[in-house]
């Protein structure tokens, strides 16, 4: 695989992606959603008190991105990461374009890498857009007041902003793991509905399994656990163990899913 070939394949995939309405809608929703949430918090009297930092949402603008993060970790990330990852391979089956793409001067490895890179970039873009938008919404709609962390310590605005940024950064690895899961589903099923739906169902099942009593070892092997690892970054002193563990688990999911998906793509007959 040559860097030039990878760049060409990724550039083509990105061009196709930005031409699609769904990608623009998802990114627009990531930008607009937090503002709608912050505005709703501002005008209504009740707050989401059963959510981490929910009580502080009208007192500090830095609580808004953390509430959004808690909600997104449960419902949004598996969906947003699957929308592109779960469709990027199976769309070629749907349109019948594998024969067009694979008869050019690029290897299957380059095409695979270009698609995976695009899916990961889109997942990053969605997470970053949601993060920036929720910080902006919190600061503009609520204000830059100091934030009380989970240990009850008051964090000044600059320190709160750093913690919020670290918390959002910590969900990138599991978001990538779900993207890889979606890629695998997309390659294996060659069906976009399954490619998008299966990781979402898997994410939901993983979330539910953490709510019931079960072996802790199994819970720790799920990438959804990493979505909650940021809690340790908002305590005094901060603990990074769950974040590190979640990153390793997510990395394993990423590597295994992509390796299996690549092997499947390499061995698949197109239209045969």
Partner 1 sequence: MVEGLALEAIGVSKRYGSREALCGVDLIVRPGQLHGLLGPNGAGKTTLMRILLGLVRRDAGTVRLLGSRLDSTAGPVPDGVAGFVETPAFYPYLSARKNLALLARLDGNAKSRRSDNVDEILEHIGLAPHADIAVAGYSAGMRQRLGLAAALLRSPWLLFLDEPTSSLDPGGARDVRALARRLADAGAAVVWSSHDMAEVEELCATLTVINRGQVIFCGAIDELRDLAPAAVHALHTSDDRAALDLASRRPGVKVSSDSDGSLEVSADTEGLDAYVIALGQAGIAVRALESRVRSLESLFIEITGHAESEAHVSAPHATADLAPPASPVVS
State the nearest-atom distance from the C-beta of 254 to partner 1, in Å: 22
Contact 270, 102 (CB under 8 A): yes
Binding site for partner 1 (CB under 8 A): 4-5, 8-9, 11-12, 15-16, 19-20, 95-110, 266-272
Q: Which residue number, 12 or 136, has a Cβ lying nearer to partner 1?
A: 12
State the nearest-atom distance from the C-beta of 116 to partner 1, in Å: 16
58, 125, 249 from 206: Cα distances, Å: 31, 24, 14
Q: Where are the beta strands (DSSP E) in 115-205?
A: 147-148, 154-155
Contact 222, 212 (CB under 8 A): no
State the nearest-atom distance from the C-beta of 26 to partner 1, in Å: 16
Q: Which residue number, 106 or 163, has a Cβ lying nearer to partner 1?
A: 106
Determine if the peptide bond prior to 237 is cis (ω within 30°).
Answer: yes
Distance CA 2, CA 40 (A): 50
Distance CA 233, CA 90 (A): 38
Q: Which residue number, 10 or 139, has a Cβ lying nearer to partner 1?
A: 10
**148: Cβ–Cβ under 8 A, 6 or more apart, which residues?**
56, 59, 60, 154, 155
Q: Which residue number, 76 or 116, has a Cβ lying nearer to partner 1?
A: 116
State the nearest-atom distance from the C-beta of 190 to partner 1, in Å: 14
State the nearest-atom distance from the C-beta of 126 to partner 1, in Å: 20
Q: Which residue number, 22 or 156, has a Cβ lying nearer to partner 1?
A: 22
């Amino acid at each position: 695989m040559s860097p030039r070939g990878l760049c060409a394949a990724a550039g083509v995939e990105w061009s196709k992606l930005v031409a699609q309405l769904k990608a623009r809608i998802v990114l627009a929703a990531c930008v607009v959603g937090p503002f709608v949430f912050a505005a709703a918090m501002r005008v209504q009297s009740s707050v989401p008190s059963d959510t981490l930092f929910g009580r502080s949402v009208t007192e500090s603008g830095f609580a808004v991105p953390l509430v959004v993060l808690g909600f997104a970790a449960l419902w949004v990330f598996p969906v947003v990461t699957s929308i592109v990852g779960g469709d990027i391979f199976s769309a070629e089956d749907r349109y019948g374009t594998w024969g067009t793409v694979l008869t050019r001067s690029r290897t299957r490895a380059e095409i695979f890498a270009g698609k995976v890179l695009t899916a990961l970039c889109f997942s990053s873009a969605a997470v970053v857009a949601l993060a920036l938008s929720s910080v902006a919404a919190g600061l503009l709609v609520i204000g830059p007041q100091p934030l009380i962390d989970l240990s009850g310590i008051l964090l000044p605005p600059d320190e709160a902003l750093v913690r919020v940024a670290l918390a959002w950064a910590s969900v990138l690895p599991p978001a990538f793991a779900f993207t890889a899961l979606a890629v695998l589903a997309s390659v294996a099923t060659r069906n976009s509905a399954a490619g998008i739906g299966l990781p979402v169902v898997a994410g939901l099942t993983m979330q539910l399994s953490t709510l019931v009593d079960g072996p802790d070892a199994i819970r720790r092997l799920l990438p959804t656990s990493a979505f909650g690892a940021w809690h340790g970054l908002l305590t005094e002193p901060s603990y990074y163990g769950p974040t590190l563990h979640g990153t390793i688990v997510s990395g394993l999911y990423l590597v295994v899913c992509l390796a299996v998906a690549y092997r499947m793509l390499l061995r698949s007959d197109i239209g045969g």
